[in-house]
Amino acid sequence: MAKVIASQLRKGNVLDIEGKLYVVLTAQNFHPGKGTPVTQIDMRRISDGVKVSERWKTTEQVERAIVEDINFQFLYEDGEGFHFMNPENYDQVVATPDMIGDDKAYLADGMTVILSIHEGNPIAMELPRHVVLEVMETEPVVKGQTASSSYKPAMLSNGIRSMVPPHIDAGTKIVVLTEDGSYVERAKS
């Protein structure tokens, strides 16, 4: 086990709390005007999928579980789960739908992700920071809209809704932040 301070925890980290493993879903640091800064952690217990919220002082020590972070390539999804292959030794692992969660929308054939492996089982996944998606449909530009501040809703090729600038039309490929599905830039061709 390795101890880290609470303020260093990030999404995907695996914690050992009282002998149970938890994967961090969100981590936010709060610095109130008065009082002690705290870190709010939302996490999922790996054994049964129960979601838990915890709050620690930002300087408090927390046990991080020893896991291996290994690059894996996404192969396919079936009734068994999500299949990944290690490109170095061709070992395959299957991740449960609970572990993948909402990140399923961003998985594409052949995509390289980082899987956290504990005792041979995948327990957490980290997607690439950005993905390229195609805008499937969006509203037409309203004359007089300024490009600086107004965004319009768009449906992306993975079924996620995002807000895009007015100059983006259906069929345009864009770069999206996987963390929250927000528009980054037009994809370079």
Q: What is the CATH number of domain 130-186?
A: 2.40.50.140
Per-residue model confidence (pLDDT) at position 76: 92
Of 142, 78, 82, the residue nearest 106 (C-alpha): 82
Per-residue model confidence (pLDDT) at position 26: 86
Q: Residue 166 carries which side chain, given as an amino acid letter?
A: P
Q: Which of the residues in the chain have pLDDT under 70?
A: 1, 141-149, 189
- What residue spans define the domains of the chain? 2-64, 68-126, 130-186
Q: What is the CATH number of domain 68-126?
A: 2.40.50.140
**Which residues of the chain form beta strands (DSSP E)?**
2-5, 14-17, 20-30, 38-45, 51-57, 61-64, 68-78, 81-85, 92-95, 112-118, 121-126, 130-138, 152-156, 161-164, 173-177, 183-186
Per-residue model confidence (pLDDT) at position 167: 85
- Per-residue pLDDT tens for 33-74? 888 899 999 998 887 778 899 998 988 999 888 888 899 999
Matching fold, domains 68-126 and 130-186:
yes
**Alpha-carbon gap, residue 129 to 116, rounded angstroms:** 16
Fold observed for domain 2-64: SH3 type barrels. (2.30.30)
Predicted TM-score (pTM) of the model is 0.68
Per-residue model confidence (pLDDT) at position 2: 79
Q: Tell me the H-state helices in the chain.
A: 97-100
Would you call 76 helix, strand, or coil by DSSP? strand
Q: Are 83 and 72 in contact (CB under 8 A)?
A: no
